[in-house]
Amino acid sequence: MEKKILIDAERLKYPKSGIANVCVSLIKGLDEKTSDFEYTLFGPKKNIPHTKKNFKIINWKFWHKKFSFSTGSFALIHTAHQLSRYFYTIKKEQKKVVTLHDLNFLHDGSPKQKVEKSTKLVQKNIGNADAVVCISEFVKDDFIKNKNLFSLKNKVRVEVIYNGLIFPNNTEFNSKTTYSFIGKKYILNIGVLFPKKNQEVLLDLISKNDKELVLITSSAKSAYKERFLEKIKALGLENRVHILENIDNDEKYFLIQHCESYCHPSLAEGFGIPPVEAMYFGKPVFLSRLTSLPEIGGDLAFYFDDFSPEDMQQVYAHGMQTYGAKTDEYALKLRERALKFGYREMAGAYEKLYGELLN
């Protein structure tokens, strides 16, 4: 008899978010595997990808927060992120896996009230978990350092499973939109316009060279966006900075395909999906040396050790020179590294963990 597993994919409510992409990758990976498990997905049915195996779906409704449904038939529940508001309780014989994406609220200067609220929410999710899966070694180290904030099961497993991406089948894309910067040398950044993403230092960088800056963003922290726009004006960069909101994947790939480089000066990342996507396209990647990003870029990325305009420009110029000296060879190595973070690898690691917990 197949053992039943419930996967909390409620974050698919926000289909352009990083966690939603990870959920889609996990579903696709599990769907392609030969398995001894019967999967049920909890989330908004309209955003859950079709599966060949016809995974069962429990369609998310807003009232599920107040009125939960019976989960007694499931041998294991996988909560896909640490701030979920579902499945806090499990039965004695059930197993539970929780994916921990980050503990950024401990480090980003959040008000004390928010830190306490977030800590309690994480506790509700991981307090009865049999395994906490961290999405990078950095997140694992951070969790272990702050373990004293949480009450955990004895012998809880703490493991690293990197996020997995679904890469496009080709690297050539077209766009129906006419962008003024196509054909020019532009730096690309993808992510929420947010203080911890630190995009404003990229304005300082392009003020020291002749590049254009393209930002793909799904949302923004209003105060930071306002500051960002003011800085564009102050530096006289209105014609060289382009902010694009809520574009689809093919359009995103088109913009990666045509960029000169990808820059990600983030101050806090649990993983870092956009740099992996850029590496898949063989693009030179410039990262901050903070948190998880060195795990992503390895020795192929170029790193900003500080964010002064002069130092960033020096790193950028040296990196582009290094990349340009052996472009085809370097691009191939970047693509090979990106493929290590594939959806099949992630799904295989999770299914192995499910099997070990249930056996």
Torsion of CA 267, 235, 303, 260, to 10 degrees: 120
Per-residue pLDDT band for 1 (boundaries 50, 70, 90) equals low
pLDDT at 102: 93
Place of tokens 């800085």: 231
Q: What DSSP line would sit under 246-294, residue for residue?
A: S--HHHHHHHHHH-SEEEE--S--SS-HHHHHHHHTT--EEEESSTTHH
Selected residue with higher pLDDT from 213 and 270: 213
Give the C-alpha separation, 276 to 22, whole Å. Answer: 13
pLDDT at 300: 98
Per-residue model confidence as pLDDT tens digits over 84-137: 999 998 998 999 999 999 998 888 778 899 999 999 999 999 999 999 999 999
Per-residue model confidence as pLDDT tens digits over 249-303: 899 999 999 999 999 999 988 898 999 999 999 999 999 998 899 999 999 999 9
**Mean confidence (pLDDT) of the chain:** 93
> What is the separation, in whole angstroms, between the first and last Cα of the chain?
14
Which residues are 188's β-sheet partners? 214, 262
Per-residue model confidence as pLDDT tens digits over 140-184: 999 999 999 999 999 999 999 999 999 998 878 999 999 999 999
| DSSP helix/strand/coil, 157 | strand
pLDDT tops 90 at residue 17: no
Residue spans of alpha helices (H) in 135-270: 137-145, 200-206, 222-234, 249-258
| DSSP helix/strand/coil, 348 | helix
Per-residue model confidence as pLDDT tens digits over 36-62: 899 999 999 999 999 999 899 999 988
